[in-house]
Chains A and B, each alone.
Chain A
Amino acid sequence: MTLLTQAFLLLWKDTLLELRRRDSLLTMFFFGILLLFVFNFAFDLAPDRIAEMAPGLLWLAFLFTGTLGLAQLFQAERENHNLDALLLSPLDGGALFLAKATFNLMLMVLVEIVVIPLFWILFNLRLWNLLPQVFLVTLLGTIGFCVLGTLMSALTLRARARELLLPLVLFPLMIPVILATIRCMEEVLRTGQFGDQIGWLRLLLGFDVIFLTAGVLIFDWVIES
C-alpha cells in the first residue's frame, strides 16, 4: 500500500468520524464567527479603515480557529489507545501526517469559505471581485498552517499543558506565513492585484513545500513512543 493510499484511508476514517460527531467543524465555525463579533467591539472598524484591517483580522480569526482544530486533531487516536493500534500496524508515519494535515485543511477551508464572505457582508466591504485572489492567498497560508500545525500538534500530544504549549511553539514558527498572507492580502485589497508583493506568494509556496516534505519524512519519529 503506497503512502498516498494509506493517507487516503486515514482521511476517509477521519472524515467519517467528523460527519458523525461534527465536534470540530461546528466549534471552529462558530468560534470563527464569534471572533469577528468580538473584533467589532475591540477595534474601531470604521468603513474607511476596514479594508486595511481586514487581512489582519481575518488571519487572527483563522489562527485561533485553526488552533482549536489542531487541538482536536488527534482526539480519535487518543481514545481507546488507538494511536497504539496505528503504531502497531504497517502504517507509514508520513501517511498519518498527510492525512491529518489534509483533514485540518479541509475543516479550515470550510470555515474560511463561510467566514470570509460573512466578513465582507458584516463590514460592508464592496470588493467582491477580489474574493478569488483573497481565497488563493488564504489557501496557501492555510496549507502552511495545517502542515506546521499538524507537526506541532503531534509533538505536543503527550505534553502537560498541551493547549497552552501548542500555540506557544507554533505561532513563532508561523510568522513567515502570517506576514506573507497579510501583506499579500493588503496589496490585493488596496490595488486589486498582487503587484510587487508576488514574492510573498513564492515564499508561502516555499514554506508549504519545505514543511510538507519535512513532515512526511520526520513524522515516524514524532509519533513513536
Chain B
Amino acid sequence: MRVTVDKLAKAFGFLWALRDLNLDLAAGECVALLGPNGAGKTTLLKLLGGLITPTTGAIRFDNATFSRGVPELRARIGLLAPADHLYENLTAKENLHFFTQLYNRNSVAPTLDAALEQVGLLQRGGDYVANLSSGMKCRLSIAKWLLLQPELLLVDEPYGVLDGSGVDLLESFLKQQCARGGIIIMASHHVSRVLSLCNRAVILSHGRLTFDEAKQRPWPSFDKAFSEFLPHGGS
C-alpha cells in the first residue's frame, strides 16, 4: 500500500490544526510522528483514519482518493487507541468476536484464543472489559489489531498505559506489522523509544510539517530540529 497525503489542511472554527501537509508513505515504513502538544498529531491520525474530513487537500491510498463513501478502504486501516474502542460490558473475547465479525475476518474461537494468548490475556478472556486495567485494555486492543491485520496502522500515544512487558509486546507487534509490509504511524512523546522502533521521523509544529527524514545514525539534523521545540531536548 502507498499512502499519499496531498496539501492536507484541517481547520476547526477559526484555527488551522493542520496546514499544507504533504506526505508520502510506502509499505514497510514505520513513522514516528512527533511534535509538541497541539501540533496536530492526533488530527492527522484522525484524518488518515477517516474519522474527520479534510478542509482542503486529499488523502490517497494506492491512488484511490480516500472518502467515507469507500468502505473497502476503511477495512485496511486501523487506529490503535490505548484504552478506547472497546465495549466495557462485553467480555474481552466478545469484543474480539464483534470486531472480527465487523471487519469480516476469521472469528472462530481458536483464532480469538490464539490472539489472546499472544498478548497474555488468555486467562482474562471471559472478563468484562470494565474489569480490566488500562494496560490490559491496551493489550486487548493489540490483540484486536493482530486479528484485523490492517495495512495502515495508526497509533496514538500508547506508552502511557503500558507496563514493561506490555511495551515489549507492543513493539514486537509493530515490528511484525512493518515486516509484513504494513505501514505504521505512531504519535508519541516518548521520543527515544519511538525512534528506536521507527525508521522514519516526522515532526509537526503548529500544524505544519517541519521535518521528514528516514532514520540515520547519527542523526544530527533530527537532533537540531527536535531541540527547537523541546526545551529539555527529549526523554
Contacts and interface: CB of A to CB of B under 8 A. Distances in A.
Interface string A192-225: 0000000000000000000000000000100011
B11 interface: no
Interface in B92-133: 94, 98-99, 101-104, 128
Given A224-B53, A224-B68, A84 B85 contact: yes
Interface stretch (A75-83, A126-134, A154-162, A164-172): A75-83
A17 B87 contact: yes
Interface string A135-171: 0000000000000000000000000000000000000
A140 B171 CA distance: 54
A80 B85 contact: yes
A213 B128 CA distance: 36
B6 to A, nearest CB: 21
B74 A89 contact: yes
A49 interface: no
Contacts of B81: 81, 84
A9 B103 CA distance: 11
Contacts of B49: 88
A94 B99 CA distance: 18
B84 interface: yes
A181 interface: no
Nearest to A79: B88
Given A1-B104, A9-B101, A88 B50 contact: yes
Interface residues of B, number: 32
A225 B72 CA distance: 19
Interface in B123-156: 128
Contacts of A82: 84-87
Contacts of A86: 102
B83 interface: yes
B79 A88 contact: yes
Contacts of A81: 81, 84-85
Given A9-B98, A225-B52, A90 B104 contact: yes
Interface size class of A (residues with CB under 8 A): 20 to 34
Contacts of A87: 50-51
A92 interface: yes
Contacts of A91: 71, 102
B52 to A, nearest CB: 5
A4 to B, nearest CB: 13
B201 to A, nearest CB: 25
Contacts of B69: 220
A87 to B, nearest CB: 6
A92 B84 contact: no
A85 B71 contact: no
Interface in B33-87: 46, 49-53, 68-69, 71-72, 74-75, 77-79, 81, 83-87
A217 to B, nearest CB: 13
26 contacts: A1-B101, A13-B90, A16-B94, A20-B89, A76-B87, A80-B83, A80-B87, A80-B88, A81-B84, A81-B85, A82-B85, A82-B86, A82-B87, A85-B84, A88-B50, A88-B51, A88-B79, A88-B85, A89-B74, A89-B103, A90-B71, A90-B75, A90-B103, A224-B68, A225-B51, A225-B53
Interface of A: 1, 6, 9, 13, 16-17, 20-21, 76, 79-82, 84-92, 220, 224-225
